[in-house]
Amino acid sequence: MYAILDIETTGGKYNEEGITEIAIHKFDGHEVVDQFISLVNPEKDIQPFVVNLTGISNKMLTTAPKFYEVAKRIIEITEDCVLIAHNAQFDYRILRTEFRRLGYNFERKTICTVELAQKLLPEAESYSLGKLVRSLGIPVSDRHRANGDALATLKLFKLLLSKDLDKTIIKTVVKAETLGELSPRQLDIVEDLPSEIGVFYMHNKDAEIILLNKSSNIKKRVNQYFTNSGNRARKIQKEMRSVTFEKTGNELVALLKENEELIRNKPKYNAYYKRKLFSFAVYAVPNEEGYIQLKAEKLNNNIHLRITTFNSLEAAENFLHAVREEFQLCNKLNGLSQAKTSCSKVDEGTCLGACIKKETPESYNQRVQEVLEKYSLNNKNIVIVDKGRALGEQSVILIKNGIFKGLGFCDLNYQINNPKILESILTPMDGNANTNHIIETYLRKRKVKRIIVLNP
């Protein structure tokens, strides 16, 4: 007997979510024999993004039953059943948390239709519920409402059951009753971690770092490692004895620390610490007429002036399109137009005619230099200032002659403006092509508090 389940929640901090709606269809392998569908008053506000996603508002729930009023019905309808859900770990964790608040230990076996689908439908383009059922021709209505998603999961599960001809897959994916739950030791570890951005380190019994990662939410990411059932995750769970962390206050510092410390520590479960983070670049190359062309190409050490780097040709070309609009550059000069005469942007007035020599090289190249100044670290002496780890603190990242030198934190502006003090508060780090790529990519996409230009 199966209980097909879907839950909608308020959103919010991990293990502080409340249930807003629940739908359960009791399924005997052939047909639905019972069902329970209800809104639930979570006794807390729903996150605005969740209201937009589900359409469930706080006002709708004022007269809905509270969880303790529906708890007995949930126990009855799921008794002697295996819970089936799309991402079962989430729904089961939410239910166990709600029952734990009532002092009751709710335990059921579970099957996750995401894992089943990955095994039985290996060619699927996506395993998200909406995209997967649409790709299978399964009709779905009321997406992101409990009953709509539960019915879609039920139809998906029926299809998966029919594909599991020898029944071995279902046997292997049935979890123990504590799916998604943590051991007491792991619960203590997670409880002490912050839900903030930074870098965390997993240690073995000898205190060696076996894995390190940057994360925008350390508590959530570590919990994912503890609850993941993959082979690698299980090995990490078995070896891990403690977790330490460092807050960074912002993502750029986290990325740079991760990059540096992966190289220094070489953790056994971080396989790619030696890899180059990019494979394409935009280069500045003068042509025969004296115009500086910006070219998106695969890495080429023979081209002298590399402006900035990318991990795909598409990203590099998108950058060229963006700076063309920002600085009125020429698509034909930059290899984005195959026009025989002028590029199409001349008629639109967004290209000033360098492609037909209407604009002088000197005038055109001045704007190209502005692109270099804005988007490249080449030869720059700057300090990047951004959020710190606490109120009133700032992070500082030093670039000298276009090379990353290190980072640190300070409370006062004079610490930044005094070169000796600045260098004393920095943690020296190795600057290389990867660090420049990290910094340039971040600055293209995100704003920082300020950038201070230093005297050379």
Q: Is 314 helix (H, G, I), strand (E, B) or coil?
A: helix
Pair (106, 190) in one structural domain: no
Asked if 220 and 14 count as a contact pair (C-beta separation under 8 A), the reply is: yes
| Distance between CA atoms of residues 315 and 299, nearest Å | 14
- Hunting for tokens 């890899």 — which residue is that? 275
What's the rounded mean pLDDT across residues 391-411? 91
Pair (296, 425) in one structural domain: no
**385-395 CB burial, b ≥16 within 10 A, e <16:** bbbbbeeeebb
Pair (23, 101) in one structural domain: yes
> Is residue 356 assigned to a domain?
yes
| Distance between CA atoms of residues 126 and 118, nearest Å | 9
Handedness of CA 98, 104, 105, 111 (dihedral sign): negative
| Distance between CA atoms of residues 409 and 237, nearest Å | 33
Please give the residue that has the higher pLDDT: either 425 or 103: 103
pLDDT of residue 392: 85
> Is residue 179 assigned to a domain?
no
What's the rounded mean pLDDT across residues 108-117? 89
> Is residue 272 assigned to a domain?
no
Among 233, 265, 297, which residue terminates a domain? 265
Q: At what angle do helices 433-445 and 251-265 cross, to 10 degrees?
A: 160
What is the extent of the structural domain holding 254?
A: 184-265
pLDDT of residue 182: 62
Pair (14, 142) in one structural domain: yes
Please give the residue that has the higher pLDDT: either 411 or 41: 41
Which H, E and C letters describe 188-215, residue by residue? Answer: HHHHCCCCCCEEEEEECCCCCEEEEEEE
Kindly report the CATH number assigned to the domain that includes residue 163.
3.30.420.10
Cβ burial of 212 (10 Å; 0-12, 13-18, 19+) is buried
Tens digit of pLDDT for each residue in 177-229?
444 556 677 777 888 889 999 999 998 888 889 999 999 999 989 988 888 77
> Is residue 216 assigned to a domain?
yes
Tens digit of pLDDT for each residue in 224-263?
888 877 788 888 988 888 888 889 999 999 999 999 889 8
Tens digit of pLDDT for each residue in 136-163?
777 778 878 989 999 999 988 988 877 7
Which residues, at least 6 apart from 156, have a Cβ–Cβ distance to it below 8 Å? 86, 113, 117, 129, 132, 133, 136, 138
Pair (169, 71) in one structural domain: yes
Total count of domains within the chain = 4
Pair (51, 164) in one structural domain: yes
Confidence at 13, pLDDT banded by 50, 70, 90: confident
> Is residue 415 assigned to a domain?
yes
113 pLDDT exceeds 80? yes
Which residues, at least 6 apart from 303, have a Cβ–Cβ distance to it below 8 Å? 283, 285, 295, 297
For residue 32, give the DSSP letter. E
Cβ neighbours around 109 below 10 Å, total: 15
> Is residue 178 assigned to a domain?
no
Tens digit of pLDDT for each residue in 324-356?
989 999 988 888 887 777 777 777 777 888 888
pLDDT of residue 387: 94
pLDDT of residue 165: 54
Helix (H) or strand (E) holding 1: none
Pair (24, 53) in one structural domain: yes
Kindly report the CATH number assigned to the domain that includes residue 236.
3.40.1440.10
Pair (27, 152) in one structural domain: yes
Strand partners, 148: none
Please give the residue that has the higher pLDDT: either 426 or 339: 426
> Is residue 275 assigned to a domain?
no
Pair (140, 8) in one structural domain: yes
Pair (240, 191) in one structural domain: yes
Hey, what are 346's tokens? 């001349």
Among 241, 265, 289, which residue terminates a domain? 265
Among 173, 206, 240, which residue terminates a domain? 173
Pair (367, 442) in one structural domain: no
Confidence at 273, pLDDT banded by 50, 70, 90: low
Q: Phi/psi of residue 270, each to 5°?
A: -105, 100
> Is residue 273 assigned to a domain?
no
The number of helix segments (H) and strand segments (E) in the chain equals 17, 16
Confidence at 120, pLDDT banded by 50, 70, 90: confident
171 pLDDT exceeds 80? no
Helix (H) or strand (E) holding 426: strand 426-428
pLDDT of residue 248: 93
Summary mean pLDDT of the chain: 87
Measured in whole angstroms, how far is the alpha carbon of residue 218 from the centre of its chain? 12
Pair (165, 296) in one structural domain: no
